[in-house]
Structure 1
Amino acid sequence: MKDVYLLSGFLGSGKTSLLSNLIAQFKAEGIKPAVIMNELGKLAFDSRAVDEDIPLKEMLEGCICCTGSEKMEAQLQTLLAGEDFDVLLIETTGAAHPVEALDAVFSPLFANELNIKGIITVADCKRWLEREKLSPQTRMLFLEQIRHAHLIVANKVDLLTEEEVFNVSMQLQAINSSAPIIQTSNSKISINAIQNLEATFHQKEVQEVSIGKQLFLSSRLHTFKEPINQETFEEWIRNLPDTVYRMKGYVPLEGHKNPFLFQYAYGMIQWLPEYMKMAPQIVIIGEQIDKLQIVGDTGND
């Protein structure tokens, strides 16, 4: 399996600097990186920071999120099928919510090929001190990127006093007490700090891709043993706890030859007919989903 790191953080926080630093260190260790880079505009400006010998896929004009996950899956499939690499670095746009960005990576098509090591959030310490100047919505996104981090890179500490650095670190830790914090200038961290993140593929009574003990989120891959009733399935969806954020995959329905493509996010359900015989599997993303009883489940995923 190939390790995957998702680089999150607000606009201008230093994600691209972190990406460049990590690429250089991986190459020095003989580890072949590949990159998927997401940018808001039409021009792939930040991609110029990636060496020409590095496999690179770009997603322009938008976030890696629910609406762009299909494009993301296509990019991942292309990389996996046509490129030789050991580790994948995904840099999200600064406007991306980390949960939605992770969603694009969790596809049943290659759930067993990718090992999600976790989210590394770069926090601009200077901007953090001035966060009250941000709009409420933007400030909330800033907080969410920190709250869901596996590892927090407290960047630009060279612009702060020692007292300010201490205060920022304490405040970040209060938001996410589980994630380690590394104080940096120019996003310079050692790859040892990220390689030790705990994220493994578990196969117990259920197939579960855990993002790590420090992170709140986890993912579960469920395989259906037989077709299910659509109304029964949708009733189950309506009664899901708020801790289930996202679901996608292929659901076998009674009376239909092929499983339907199914997507769920924020209470919204989408069904699309599928004309090929796809594996009857869905990926569920959320918190405490290992104990979730799935409709039609006989006790084993």
Structure 2
Amino acid sequence: MKDIYLLSGFLGSGKTSLLSHLIEQLKAEGLKPAVIMNELGKLPFDSKSVDEDVPIKEMLEGCICCTGAEKMEAQLQMLLEGEEFDVLLIETTGAAHPVEAMDAVLSPYFASRLNMKGIITVADCKRWIDRDKMTPQTRMLFMEQIKHAHLIVANKVDLLSDNEIALVTLQIQGLNNHAPIIQTSNAKLPLKMITNLEATYSSQEIQQAAIGKQLSLSSRLHTFTEPVNKDEFEKWVKELPDTIYRMKGYVPLKGHKNPFLFQYAYGMVQWLPEYIKMNPQIVIIGDQVESIAIIGSAQND
């Protein structure tokens, strides 16, 4: 099982500095890191900061959470099959929504082989103070990156007064009271702060992958033990709470030889036939997904 951390945050917040510090500390602990860097430009400027002995895959000209989902699966496939590593660090673009980035990573192909430890958001404290000067769309994304984090790195506190630091910390905590907030300069985060994020897997046949027991946003891998009725499955999906953001995987349907590829996002469902027998599993992403009763389950997780 490979541990994965998603590094989120706006352009210039300090994600690449954090990445460099974490790589250095992992290597000092005798662990081998691998890196996937998602950049919107044509040239891999940030990747030049990664040592040559660290396996790295790059995704250029496309956000990981938009058209890049298939590219992400390909990069993960190449890393898992072609490289030896202990920990995977994924640095997302500043334009990536953390839920969608998480969705791109948690493919049903790899969910049972990857241990999603959490989303680490680097928040630029100086930019937080000036957030009202942003466009509404930019400000919303900035706040979403903080809201869905499992650990918040309040960076650039050296540029603030003591009163400003206290105010920013209090305001960020009000937006996300689940995640620890670590104040840093130059994104120097101790490694022990991220290794304490724990993802647990159930020993039952139906597995659960909760990102941190005390945190709300989580993922869950569900394995079907028998085919389900398509209409009943769609009815179950439509009755799910708004806190379920994404689902994707392979659903076995009654009357069909192979499971269908199923995707759900923004209240919409999509079915695509598969011509080879895939593992009947879906990945569910949302807030407190462990409490959701899944149709056709012989038992609850």
Please state which band the TM-score falls in when normalised by the shorter chain: over 0.9
Matched, 1:111 2:122: no
Where 1:242 maps in the other structure, the secondary structure is coil
Assess, with a 3 A threshold, how the Cα gap between structure 1 residues 165 and 300 changes in structure 2: closer, same or farther. Answer: closer
In the TM superposition, residue 228 of structure 1 has moved relative to its aligned partner by: 2.0
| Inter-partner Cα distance in structure 2 for 1:190 and 1:296 | 44
Task: Give the corresponding residue for 1:233.
Answer: 233
Matched, 1:36 2:44: no
| Inter-partner Cα distance in structure 1 for 2:215 and 2:71 | 26
| Inter-partner Cα distance in structure 2 for 1:156 and 1:170 | 16
Assess, with a 3 A threshold, how the Cα gap between structure 1 residues 66 and 223 changes in structure 2: closer, same or farther. Answer: farther
Matched, 1:224 2:224: yes
| Inter-partner Cα distance in structure 2 for 1:67 and 1:234 | 26
| Inter-partner Cα distance in structure 2 for 1:156 and 1:119 | 19
> Does 250-259 or 150-159 show the bigger shift?
250-259
Residue pairs, 1:76-115, within 5 angstroms? 76-115=76-115
> Does 109-118 or 122-131 show the bigger shift?
109-118
In the TM superposition, residue 254 of structure 1 has moved relative to its aligned partner by: 2.4
Check whether the contact 1:42–1:60 (CA below 8 A) recurs between aligned residues: yes
| Inter-partner Cα distance in structure 2 for 1:183 and 1:287 | 26
| Inter-partner Cα distance in structure 2 for 1:43 and 1:260 | 38
Check whether the contact 1:39–1:62 (CA below 8 A) recurs between aligned residues: yes
> Does 20-29 or 220-229 show the bigger shift?
220-229
Q: CA RMSD in A?
A: 1.5
Where 1:269 maps in the other structure, the secondary structure is strand
Task: Give the corresponding residue for 2:11.
Answer: 11
Unaligned runs of 5+ in 1: none
> Does 84-93 or 290-299 show the bigger shift?
290-299
Equivalenced residue count is 301
In the TM superposition, residue 205 of structure 1 has moved relative to its aligned partner by: 7.3
In the TM superposition, residue 235 of structure 1 has moved relative to its aligned partner by: 1.8
Provide the TM-score with structure 2 as the length reference: 0.95
In the TM superposition, residue 126 of structure 1 has moved relative to its aligned partner by: 0.6
| Inter-partner Cα distance in structure 1 for 2:41 and 2:120 | 23
Task: Give the corresponding residue for 2:124.
Answer: 124
Task: Give the corresponding residue for 2:202.
Answer: 202
Unaligned runs of 5+ in 2: none
Provide the TM-score with structure 1 as the length reference: 0.95
The residue type paired with residue 219 of structure 1 is S
In the TM superposition, residue 227 of structure 1 has moved relative to its aligned partner by: 2.0
Percent of matched pairs sharing the same residue: 73
In the TM superposition, residue 137 of structure 1 has moved relative to its aligned partner by: 1.2
| Inter-partner Cα distance in structure 2 for 1:261 and 1:66 | 19
Check whether the contact 2:206–2:223 (CA below 8 A) recurs between aligned residues: no
